[in-house]
Amino acid sequence: MVLKRACLEDEGIKTADLPPGDPEAGFLVDNRETTREELEAATDKCTKQIGEPKISDLSESELRKRYDARISQYDCLTENGLVSGYPPSFDVFVSDYKRSGERILWEPTEGAATTERDGKLMGPTDVCPPSTKTW
């Protein structure tokens, strides 16, 4: 998701974080300055360059890498006061993934707050971006 968002932005498409508490993982596309054709062309180009992220049939080592990357982001979010509480254990992370039919992974930004810095509203991934190597 991170690479696709970066690719779209490289293609001139403006993006933004989802509102706090939105249950879907991902980002918003600001289409006020973009035509449907431009968005479709950029999306097609990025999908060809990056491909779709693998989500099903992840090995335990792949799940561990994704969990560790999410914990790093969660720690950053906690340090910046954007989330509170405790993240799921690795066992719960894996169990939830399997119960979802191997379609959903825990997102540290779920329920995270936004913050204002230097007069600019910033979402959780603006303050604590997810890993670009593993997600």
Reported as a single tens digit per residue, the pLDDT across 72-88 is 999 999 999 999 999 99
**Domain assignment present for 135:** no
In a domain, 133, yes or no: no
Residue 17: what pLDDT? 79
- The answer, yes or no, to whether residue 23 has pLDDT greater than 50, is no
pLDDT at position 117 = 86
The pLDDT of 90-95, averaged and rounded, is 98
Q: Is the pLDDT of residue 93 over 80?
A: yes
For residue 51, is it within any domain?
Answer: yes
- Give the distance from CA 77 to its chain's centroid: 13
Instruction: Answer yes or no: is 134 within a domain.
Output: no
Q: Is residue 80 part of a domain?
A: yes
Q: What is the mean pLDDT of the chain?
A: 86
Asked whether residue 125 carries a pLDDT value surpassing 70, the answer given is: yes
Q: Return the percentage of the chain with pLDDT > 70, whole number.
A: 90
Whether this prediction's pTM lies above 0.85 is answered by no
* Number of domains the chain contains: 1
What residue has token string 């974080």?
Answer: 17
Does position 70 have pLDDT exceeding 80, yes or no?
A: yes
Query: Does the residue 83 lie in any domain?
Result: yes
* Per-residue pLDDT, 52: 65
**Distance between CA 53 and CA 45 in Å, rounded?**
15
pLDDT tier for residue 25 given thresholds of 50, 70 and 90: low
Position 36 in a domain: yes
CB 1 within 8 A of CB 105: no
CA distances to 22, 48, 79, 83 from 26, rounded to whole Å, are 9, 19, 22, 18
* Structural domain harbouring 34: 2-127
Specify the higher pLDDT residue, 30 or 12. 12
In a domain, 132, yes or no: no
